[in-house]
Chain A
């Protein structure tokens, strides 16, 4: 009998290993599969048992619950206060549109047989049979845009690299998921690593690259282990190596582990870091697509972008772009985080509202008090107030609302949040993490902290607010990359949407 206990690090953080150990010691003859997480993180550790009717879920389970679960015959789906019914029928999951995440939590992350049984490798096999330009056309036609935050069309980038003449080209996967409130890259890698490897292999075949690197954060030790094991399996299977699945294409893959620098999530700083140097941002041009890693043409895409490619190639561009709105096509993997009742992964077509995410799926705050602020798109994203919750979550609408979608992270704050403190944190985070290349970012961030401190203390509030806005403008216009360029976004949005927190009056609420 099969029992699923997620090996995802979020599940482990709340006791999944202890639950797995308790089941192993108390249930004889059980086959425990450490799957990825289904993404309903408030139910973790969520144990699933395979029954004649389908998989039945129990959660959140602790090791102490195992005795009562056994007494309730949970192995055949028996009734228990923690029983969530059939996993496929849990409304929170059933109402999602899983494309990139369709196998995460479903399969054993290390079973190639299960991967193939659930549609894996179909896209790669098709890509092998196509010409380079046919693959790139398909990806371009699908409307797939960079899921790391910038939203640049993936097919266009690939075409540039394919057209660059060089003896060596690279595929670099940006898995430096440093934004607070985002964890989709990690969960995909821990739950379905073969999908990322497949996407990178397709990209390599499309542009003529033979070496890939995954730049993965040191803060994700579980993901590093999982991905390395999956790469080893793919090697042994004849997928990676000198002949990809028996074809004339060669592709190899290495992990490079980050060293705790946020700015290395910026693509050119990431290249420097993979080259073993300080993670200092490069000026563009030259574009990395022309002169990237070690000076060679390089495709740089985020984990979710590359992991969406297998589905595009397997089901075709038309099926992918049938989802979404306007120029935001396909699905976005939203991540619900912070002070939230039902946090986790929600994959939906672009165009759902903030409200649907934070109140619908999220169920409001964990503390039960009203949501006061929502930060979308990581530490460089804007703070929104409840009045803006009807905004559609797509690239263009978010931009029009003075924010950005970023990597799809949505962080909830309850009534206790002080937006002046959040604005101060944005500046101080930039001061800690700036690579130091551009003066507005390196020095402006420290001046920003000092100015916000004066506002908080009530010193010449109006003058200092004006000064802060001026500083924001200099940082936005005078920084090479998004670190300095977008740090003003959380600061300004906090000032505009929550002016009552910037009056300098200590007892304002």
Chain B
């Protein structure tokens, strides 16, 4: 996935689209991550100022949610569901195998709602059912 390089000015353009939203902090951090691939350290103060919140408020939200990242994303993003329904069809082993092969690109997921066709993976935003190492490698390219 291609993201824009971090820039304060570009971030302000993103934030301006959320000016009218009620309770905007989480949305703002999500929008910044969608644009830049992660939430840069400078974004905390920027979001706080823009919406008249404290830096602590923004930091609190940033560190609560699993989705939000503070370091740049790898080019490929692989999520393996490790919840019960996928465990029942071998996701524990699959997760190990995929991590061995693709390392830092791999994250644990908790359910993509594809529990009858597991193990399930999400590769760069595309859903993979009855996932195998081969299928994931194919979806990654």
Interface residues of A (CB under 8 A from B): 9-10, 12-14, 41-42, 44, 177-183, 185-187, 218-223, 256-262, 273-280, 294, 335-340, 343-344, 366, 375, 379, 409, 411-414, 417, 422, 425, 429, 433, 435
**Roughly how many angstroms separate A42 CA and B128 CA in the complex, as a whole number?**
15
Q: Is the CB of B88 within 8 A of A411?
A: yes
20 A-B residue pairs with CB within 8 Å: A12-B126, A13-B114, A13-B130, A180-B81, A180-B84, A182-B113, A183-B114, A187-B113, A219-B109, A222-B127, A275-B23, A276-B23, A276-B61, A278-B61, A278-B64, A294-B23, A337-B118, A413-B88, A414-B88, A422-B84
Q: Is the CB of B84 within 8 A of A411?
A: yes
**A219-B23 contact given A278-B61, A425-B84, CB 8 Å threshold:** no
Closest A residue to B26 by beta carbon equals A276
Closest A residue to B128 by beta carbon equals A13
Q: Is the CB of B110 within 8 A of A262?
A: yes
**A277-B129 contact given A219-B111, A261-B64, A414-B88, CB 8 Å threshold:** no
Q: Is the CB of B115 within 8 A of A180?
A: yes
**A338-B113 contact given A13-B129, A276-B61, A375-B84, CB 8 Å threshold:** no
Q: Is the CB of A42 within 8 A of B116?
A: yes
Question: Does residue B41 face the partner (Cβ distance < 8 Å to A)?
Answer: no
Question: Does residue B30 face the partner (Cβ distance < 8 Å to A)?
Answer: yes
Closest A residue to B24 by beta carbon equals A276
Residues on B with C-beta less than 8 A from A261 are: 64-66
Q: Is the CB of B68 within 8 A of A259?
A: yes
- Smallest CB separation, A373 vs chain B (Å): 9
**A12-B117 contact given A181-B85, A276-B25, CB 8 Å threshold:** no
Chain B contact residues: over half helix, strand or loop, or mixed? loop
Question: Does residue B22 face the partner (Cβ distance < 8 Å to A)?
Answer: yes
Closest B residue to A183 by beta carbon equals B113
Within 8 A of A (CB), among B63-102: 64-68, 81, 83-89
**A221-B130 contact given A42-B116, A182-B113, A261-B65, CB 8 Å threshold:** no
Question: Does residue B15 face the partner (Cβ distance < 8 Å to A)?
Answer: no
Residues on B with C-beta less than 8 A from A274 are: 23
Q: Is the CB of A13 within 8 A of B127?
A: yes
**Roughly how many angstroms separate A335 CA and B85 CA in the complex, as a whole number?**
11
Within 8 A of A (CB), among B17-58: 22-28, 30, 57
Residues on A with C-beta less than 8 A from B85 are: 180-181, 337-338, 409, 411
**Roughly how many angstroms separate A499 CA and B127 CA in the complex, as a whole number?**
37
- Smallest CB separation, A38 vs chain B (Å): 13
Residues on B with C-beta less than 8 A from A366 are: 89
Closest A residue to B58 by beta carbon equals A276
**Roughly how many angstroms separate A261 CA and B64 CA in the complex, as a whole number?**
8
- Smallest CB separation, A403 vs chain B (Å): 14
Q: Is the CB of A14 within 8 A of B130?
A: yes
Q: Is the CB of B67 within 8 A of A259?
A: yes
Closest A residue to B51 by beta carbon equals A276
Q: Is the CB of B116 within 8 A of A10?
A: yes
Residues on B with C-beta less than 8 A from A257 are: 27, 30
Residue in contact with A180 in the complex, picked from B65, B111, B125, CB distance below 8 Å: B111
- Given A182-B113, A183-B113, 13 other A-B contacts at CB below 8 A? A10-B117, A13-B117, A13-B129, A44-B117, A179-B111, A181-B85, A219-B113, A277-B57, A278-B64, A279-B65, A338-B116, A409-B115, A411-B115
